[in-house]
Copies of this chain bind each other. A is one copy, B any other.
């Protein structure tokens, strides 16, 4: 009776480094088979433990620039001399199939998406405290003290952008955060602006007509 848009949502999951974006996304995908994670492209070199098509699609600088020319990116940017970009076509195809696309992305990239996809759902993943954020960044053990400090300072700036998002989810426990994102998805699917048509004029209308004539 109610026809709603069958298009999947684009969920932009963003937040400071150390907020747990990737962990939460993986846990969400494991439980929700109608969700799909968009993988970004990069022109930086593949690291040893990385797999092409898992963390990123690894392209040469020339391949990346060719795709820019062909308008294949939703957004792209240069960090530390390397290209990073979000491929457009796969996102559109999945959404058309009714699949929700999750885009795990840094805060600056997220704000670019906002201009381009106004119906995207923006979720800011928040660490429970700056203390815990610091512990998480240090706990990785892969980065220098300077880099941890730099990421920590960036987190302060990024949290200031929170008002540009639709939702904020505190990542105290991965399970809680996933459950909240699932609720957001369910609620968004119930939004009245997803209704394309309220069709009362098919067999129900025939019924109504016949009732009126009784």
Contacts and interface: CB of A to CB of B under 8 A. Distances in A.
Interface in A1-56: 1-2
Given A1-B126, A1-B128, A204-B131, A167 B152 contact: no
Nearest to A148: B211
A89 to B, nearest CB: 30
A134 to B, nearest CB: 7
A136 interface: no
Contact of A204 (B2, B130, B183): B130
A127 to B, nearest CB: 8
Contacts of A207: 130-131, 134
A54 to B, nearest CB: 29
Contacts of A77: none
Interface in A186-208: 186-188, 190-192, 195, 198, 200, 203-205, 207-208
How many copies of the polypeptide does the oligomer hold? 2
Contact of A208 (B152, B167, B170): B152
Contacts of A186: 179-180, 183-184, 187
Contacts of A134: 207, 211
A166 B183 contact: no
A191 B167 contact: yes
Nearest to A169: B190
A64 B151 CA distance: 62
B168 A195 contact: yes
A11 to B, nearest CB: 12
A90 interface: no
Contacts of A156: 200, 208
24 contacts: A1-B127, A1-B130, A2-B126, A2-B168, A2-B170, A129-B204, A130-B200, A130-B204, A130-B208, A134-B211, A149-B212, A152-B211, A159-B198, A165-B192, A167-B190, A167-B191, A167-B192, A169-B190, A179-B186, A180-B190, A183-B183, A184-B186, A186-B187, A187-B188
